[in-house]
Structure formats: C-alpha cells, structure tokens
Structure 1
Amino acid sequence: MRAPEQCVILVGGLGTRLGALTANMPKPLLAVAGRPFLEYLLLEAARFGFKRVLLLAGYRADQVAYYLAGSDIAERLRLQIDLLVEEKPAGTGGALWQARELLDEHFYLLNGDSWFNFNWLSLMTVEGSDRAVATLGLRPLADASRYGVVETDDGAVRRFRDRPEQAGPGDVNSGVYLVSREIVAALRPQCSLERDVLPALAEAGQLRAFRASGGFIDIGVPEDFSRAQTLLPNWRERPAAFLDRDGTLNEDRHYVHRIADFHWLPGAVEAIRLLNDAGFYVFVVTNQAGVAHGFYREEDVESLHAWIQGELRNRGAHIDDFRYCAFHPEATVEAYRGEHTWRKPGPGMLRDLITHWPVDLAGSFMAGDKDIDVAAGQAAGIASLRIGPEGLLPHVRALISRKA
C-alpha cells in the first residue's frame, strides 16, 4: 500500500457542551492561541506530506466556507482543500457516506475537534493495516472515564465499551484513522461512525489499532478547550534534527540528482522514522553545487526531494521540510556564482528553518558526514554530530535513549 495523499476531516459537530462558544461557530473554527483549531490539523496534514484535504461540514458550514475564502492557508501549505456540506445532519458516518464518491482507495480520517501528537504515518506500519477496513490511533489514558474504551487483542480491535462509570485506565480512540474506501459498504445515509459503524467492523474483525503516547486533547468540553490554549503551542514546539543529505542519508555518488542514482545508506530510513516517532522535526539541509555548475536544474533537486518524501511516507516516515543551496563561489552558471549564507558551512539554511518552524533549539542537533555540516550546526547554535562509517542510525538510537 502506498501512503495516502488524501486527508478527510470531520468539521460538522455541534459542540453543545461548549455552550455559547459554539452558538455561531463550529468547534473546529474556535480560536486556540490565536488561530482556528482546524488550522493546527491542516499544519499537521501538510507536514506529514498530504496533498489534498476534504472537509466534511454540517453545522455552520457557512463559517467554514468563509474561513477558507478569507485565508491563504491552502496556498501557504500547498494543499488542495475542498469542502463538502451535508444537506441535513447525518452523523459522522452519514457525512462520510455523502463523500463516498470523493474518497481515495485509502485515506486518513480525522476528528476536527481533537489533536493527537504522534507520527500519523505509523498507522501504515501496523501489521495487517493494508487489509483492514480501518486502523485506529489509540491513546492510553490513566483515566479514560470521559471517553469510551477500545479493547484490543494482538493489534486487532475487538470491542468498543461505553464510558466506564468509575475512573480508571484504558485506551481511547484518538480520532486519527487510516481508512480503506471499503468502509463505504458499512455506511448508511444516516449513521454514527463511533456508535454504529466501528463497533460492527470490530465485531467482524476488520479493524486494527496502533497505540501511541503523545499529547492528546479533545476540545469538546470547556476545561480542555481552555487547556488547549497553552498545550497546543507547547506541543508544536519540538526539537529538530537537521540532516545533511548526500553521504548521510544516501550514498554520495557526486551530484546525485536522478532517482536512479539515489541509494539509501543502511539504517537511514529507520533513523528518520525513529526521529519522527520520538517527536522531532526532521529537516534536510544540503549544498547542491551541481546546479551552480550546470549539471542539473533546481527543478531536478525539487523533483528528487519529492520522490524521497514519497518513499519515506510509504515506510511510515517523512521529512518535515527541505532546504538546499544552489550557489557556489566558482559556479559556471553566472546566476548562481558567489558566496551565499545558505551554503554550508554557513548556517543560513538552518536559520531559515528555525524562523519558519517552532523549533526547540536546546534539544536540536545537526548531523552530517563532513566538517562543513558540523560547522553549520555550531554556527546556528545547536549540537552537531559528525557521521562516520557507522551511519546515522546508532547516533539516533543513542540520542533517543538519552531523551527517554
């Protein structure tokens, strides 16, 4: 199974428990630390490599349309965002049924009022997820009494239990799903995904699950909506791994710019996935003097990076952002001739990423196979690692072990 490029978000809930806050506004558009809650989900969808987002709206859908019309979020995140409005309240399953002809073969489905801080692409690594109708992200809670509890056995979802009467631990549905279009056969024009569809699929043995322990919040009650104002910005600020490309992630075959010449180094993909799972941003920063010397074009660099991202996503990993420097002091192409702050050992690429992402510098590091990589990291004020024949993976394992 190839990683889905479509992300479907349910944004039609009434939000009755929030009282006056949702009198004229759907829950996903409520402001959290200065931006609509929905925007946090869109930011995550973009960084995990999704290309298309389908919003399923109902209550106050006009406000969702107004938000999209007045925002540049789609352009900024390079997302195609479409809106489907239900004709009448149909429940979460009914909303998905109405979208049945717009669904990809596999897609991700999100609740528009909850946030789970984990590697979404991990759902693809679950054994049997390619054959399941859906794979659920589960969050273990010390007190699951506010939620229904999901019972699993050897990775399979067996049963959904109603809210327990007494406080106690349990796994709860996080609202992040990897879904097959086969789910359409279980949907009806009016139905609840949580109460009708998922329990039936569990009974039929068609659901898988992945348990993760990242930050989780559902803004459906006033207390958690208030907590989200500080928790979400804090969760988005995370350490970053700045990684060199040629010689660190792939074999350095001199001016690599074609897919045929790109060969992963042993352990590189696993290292990236471990960093994703541990909550790091993962950035690639690479000098690309081959452009300056006329061996290939910037479009070739960007095409290769898009292919790299696709290969990683298929294996449950991803790069959050890429930076490259095409300049060289002795370039044969005049437009690229000269010194540039982005060219390593300069820290320009790292500083640009730090400007554009909420990076926790204290826990961040630069890793590369050359002295210029170490120098770039030091100039940016972060720890730096020189990668030798042992490769990136043992360094990442050691770092994550210390972090734990």
Structure 2
Amino acid sequence: MMFSKQLVVLVGGKGTRLGALTQNTPKPLMPISNDRVFLDYFLEAATRQGFSDILFLAGHYGEQVAQRYDGRTLNGARLRVMIEPEPKGTGGAFKYFYDQLAPTFVAANGDTLFDINMRALDARLQASPDLSGVLALRLVDDVARYGSVTQNNRGLITGFTEKQKSGVAIAGNINGGIYALRREAIARLPDGPSSIETDLFPDLAADQRLAGIESSGYFLDIGLPETLNIARSELPIRRRSVLFLDRDGVLNIEKNYLYRPEDFEWVEGAVDVIRRRNDRGDAVVVVTNQAGVARGMYGEDDVRDLHSYIQEDLYARGAFVDAFYYCPYHEAATVDQYRVKNHPNRKPNPGMLLTAARDLNLDMSRAIMIGDMETDVAAAEAASIKGYLFKGGDLSAFEQTITAPST
C-alpha cells in the first residue's frame, strides 16, 4: 500500500499585508482564541489524515515556530521545524531542505486552512507515475486576488493566470495552497531564490505532469486583516457534520470475531462512502462493540492493529477515517477486567458517539449513524441523532438514498 507519510508546511512568509500585526510574530502564529493560534487549527485539521512526519519549513521569526512545535508529537505525528538561513522564497525553502523531503509528500501553506481530503491528492499522484504533482483547486466567486488555474477534461492543469484587478468579479478555480509532490520535481527549480508557484508549477503543467482536483472544503486564508478577523470569529465555534459507522457488517463483511487483517474484506461501496464524505469535509467515525476482547478471543492491541490496517488501506485509496472508537466491555465477559454490566460505551448506549462528538468538535445536529443491528440505531437515537439500518448489499447505494445533513 503506497501513500505519503510526510506533510510539509510552509511557514516562512513575512505576512506584509497584515502590517503591524506581523511585526514581531509570524503570520501562522496569529492569535485566534485564548491560547490557540492559527497554526493550531491547521494542525487539528491535518493530523487526522494520518501523516506521521510533519515538517515545518520556517523563515521569518522561525524560532517562534520552533519553540512552539519542534520535537512535539501530535495525534501520532512527529513535528519538526527547519529554519532556512536566509529567505529564498517557497521554492528556495524546498530546495534548501531537499534532503529532508520524502520521495513523495503533501505540502501546504501554513497561513491557509483548506480543510480537504489531502489523501485524494496523494492517491492520484501514487496511481499516476507520469505525474509530478497534484494540486488542490478551490472554486471561488472572484479569482482576482488569487489568480486562476485552468484544466483540460483529463484533470491536467493547462495554465495559470496571474492576479489581476478587472473591476468585474470572475468565478474560477484557484490554487488552494495544498499539493502532493514528488521530491524529484524540486530538482527542476533554479538555484537561488525561487517560487514553487511561478517557477515550478507552470513548468510541470507545460510538460503535462501536473493535475488538479477541485475540492469544496472549508477555505480561509488569513493574508488580510479582514480575513484574520473572520478566522477569529469562525474557527473557535466551527463544528463539522459527521457520519458514524458501525464496523462489522457495515465496513467489512461480517465474520465472527474478526481481528486478523488477512481476514478483512470490504463491504461493497464502503470505501466510496468514506471517500465521498472525506471529499465533502464531513467527519467519518467508526464506533464498534468488540465483545471478542471481553471473551478473551483477542486483545485490544489486535483491535488497534486491525484499525491501523484499515486506515492504511484507506490512505492508499484516497480516503481516511477520522477516528475509531471501540468498546471491549460486556456483562458476560470471561476476562474479569472487561466484565461490566451495561457499560455506557457499549451500544445501544451512546457513549462512543458522545465521546467522539466532544473529542472531535462535531456538530451532532448534522450527524447520522449507519449500522447493521438494531443496537446501532438505538445508540444513535440515544445520542439524539438519526440512525439507519443497513441490511447488506452496496453501502454506497444505500448511503445515497439517505437524506443526510451536510456541511
């Protein structure tokens, strides 16, 4: 299963359009709420997609970025900060730290929150040896501030239009500031200062080695005082809609007490449902009773290993699960430590759903649950959300018949 494990975050810009606000603070560290800065919200969105190595390329006041993040671990990801000795643009930063880059990686601007399915970009790159990069594109009402991007019917990028003031708002796709790249593409950049946006992407596009995927996730660039104010008003209260899924019989074909990865088989359409929800910006959360642990048939490590296997298979397919929750308790457990009557996390009780809502900042007014047992539907109702009973077949076709809340 091929997928990128590295996320590179560019945090070296001076943020001159923010004026005095960035005189002593790098733009990505702009305060948003209480003790949280913009980059904290960016990382919250990015780390749920399974990157194990997050590399910050810093410049302007880079020591502040290093002090806050270097050496930390967040949601299983190791955070590293590299500070370039002198500013040489986005391309220069990549080239200076070339040896730190993985053979394929996903990169993003640390002053923009574009909450998209990064795994979809990476999966397109991994599946296409002829491509050197895949950009996330965003449809906006007016491209004047950003410059636009054009594509052909195969999804290949054919050109870039520079920022221009026309006096008339023109809708179109823009570079969303997130891209999957092959490290070898960086070698195309000239020595000295360079821009990945103007010195690399047009070159790749001319050689038909650059594709784009239009994404519609939440988008916010804090490059202007007014957009920084929007961040301060929206990010602290932002909640995502969520699809809760039971595991056995919904994601995988039901096999009694499944715990070995080699026995796992996807239900038809399950991956499509997860990726579709990822692409929409919805959270996908798996909640599963695991009585096999209580009965001593396998351990919690086995459950976690299987979930890691499922997650990595999804990454390679351009999808991901935001979180897995499992309940190992049962009133008839043969393992003493798991013998609990009516544990609040065991469905039909709603404990796992409510815990996920708190952990992941979910909007339960825009939540649904799909399960293959009445206890799944009962857990949903106990959490005050709608539950749907899946009786087998194509999960994608079933999910599309549901009128679900969305972002």
Give 2:15's aligned residue: 15
Does 1:330 pair with 2:329? no
Give 2:26's aligned residue: 26
TM-score by length of 2: 0.94
Where does 1:244-263 land on structure 2 (aligned, <5 Å)?
244-263=246-265
Paired residue for 2:78, among 77, 80, 83?
80
- One-letter code aligned to 2:26: P
Deviation at 1:391, TM superposition (A): 4.2
- Bigger drift between 221-230 and 368-377 goes to 221-230
1:334-377 deviation per Cα after TM superposition (whole angstroms, max 9, x unaligned): 11112221111111111111111111111201111011111111
Where does 1:64-75 land on structure 2 (aligned, <5 Å)?
64-68=65-69, 74-75=72-73
Does 1:194 pair with 2:197? yes
Does 1:306 pair with 2:305? no
Give 1:295's aligned residue: 297
SS at 2:286 equivalent: strand
SS at 2:160 equivalent: strand
* Gap regions ≥5 residues in structure 2: none
- One-letter code aligned to 1:28: P
1:139-175 deviation per Cα after TM superposition (whole angstroms, max 9, x unaligned): 1111111112112222111222111331312211110
- Bigger drift between 305-314 and 182-191 goes to 182-191
Give 1:137's aligned residue: 136
Give 2:218's aligned residue: 215
TM-score by length of 1: 0.94
Deviation at 1:132, TM superposition (A): 1.2
Deviation at 1:76, TM superposition (A): 4.4
Give 1:98's aligned residue: 96
SS at 1:342 equivalent: coil
Where does 1:4-403 land on structure 2 (aligned, <5 Å)?
4-34=4-34, 35-68=36-69, 74-124=72-122, 126=124, 129-154=128-153, 155-166=155-166, 167-187=169-189, 188-233=191-236, 236-339=238-341, 340-399=343-402
C-alpha RMSD over aligned residues: 1.9
SS at 2:340 equivalent: coil
SS at 1:350 equivalent: helix
Deviation at 1:301, TM superposition (A): 0.4
- One-letter code aligned to 2:359: H
Distance 1:275 1:373, change over 3 A: same
Deviation at 1:131, TM superposition (A): 2.8
- One-letter code aligned to 2:157: V
Deviation at 1:394, TM superposition (A): 2.3
1-structure distance, mates of 2:209, 2:403:
34
2-structure distance, mates of 1:305, 1:403:
26
1:55-114 deviation per Cα after TM superposition (whole angstroms, max 9, x unaligned): 000000111112126xx9x44422100111101111100101112111111100001111
Deviation at 1:400, TM superposition (A): 6.0
Aligned length: 400
- One-letter code aligned to 2:22: T
1-structure distance, mates of 2:262, 2:124:
29
**Structure 1 vs Structure 2: percent identity of aligned residues?**
41
Distance 1:302 1:402, change over 3 A: closer
